[in-house]
Amino acid sequence: MSSKPQKNLETFPNPYPNRDYQIHMEIPEFTCLCPKTGQPDFATLILDYIPDKKCVELKSLKLYTWSFRNEGVFHEAVTNKILDDLVSTLKPRYLRLIARFYVRGGIFTNVTVDYRKKGWKIQPNISLQDFTPQSNFKY
């Protein structure tokens, strides 16, 4: 595999395709260029997804995000482009991408985009804090 920036996202088969589970990633070194000034923009990308048949291979994701380093692009555009590319490659059940851009001119920018596969429904959360096995037990 190359160690140069590339737009190719590689995948591997989901080892548990019959189960909904969340994959969480944080990419703290994302950079691109401001299309107006050419100055660098820095962001942390937060990626959460529920895979269907495929998972993203991490090195290819790193090289993919690195490929934006010299591109002039608005925050909103690059966040949506990354989501579109991930959805096109992975075809996940659910995917959310948050781009937290560092302060520029006194303004922080956070862009959140998500995708939900048609017909997929999120399972309700179960809080184990509320479950106390002794609650029905009489001493």
Domain layout of the chain by residue ranges = 11-15+26-117
Environment class of 98 (CB within 10 Å of its CB; exposed 0-12, middle 13-18, buried 19+): middle
The closest of 29, 23, 31 to 96, measured between CA atoms, is: 23
For this structure, is 84 an active site residue?
Answer: no
The closest of 45, 56, 54 to 14, measured between CA atoms, is: 54
pLDDT tens readout for residues 43-94: 999 999 999 999 999 999 999 999 999 999 999 999 999 999 999 999 999 9
d(CA 80, CA 76): 6
At 101, the amino acid letter reads F
Say what the pLDDT of residue 13 is: 98
Q: Which fold has domain 11-15+26-117?
A: GTP Cyclohydrolase I, domain 2 (3.30.1130)
State the DSSP H helix or E strand holding residue 85, giving kind and residue range, or none if neither: helix 75-90
For this structure, is 114 an active site residue?
Answer: no
Encoding tokens for residue 138?
């009489």
Predicted structure pTM score: 0.86
Q: Using the structure block, give the residue that is written with the tokens 């851009």.
A: 101
The one catalytic residue in 20, 32, 34, 52 is 34
Buried b (16+ CB within 10 A) or exposed e, 9-23: bbeeebeeeeeeeee
What proportions of the chain, in percent to the nearest 5, are helix, strand and coil?
20, 35, 45
Give the percent of the chain with pLDDT over 70.
91
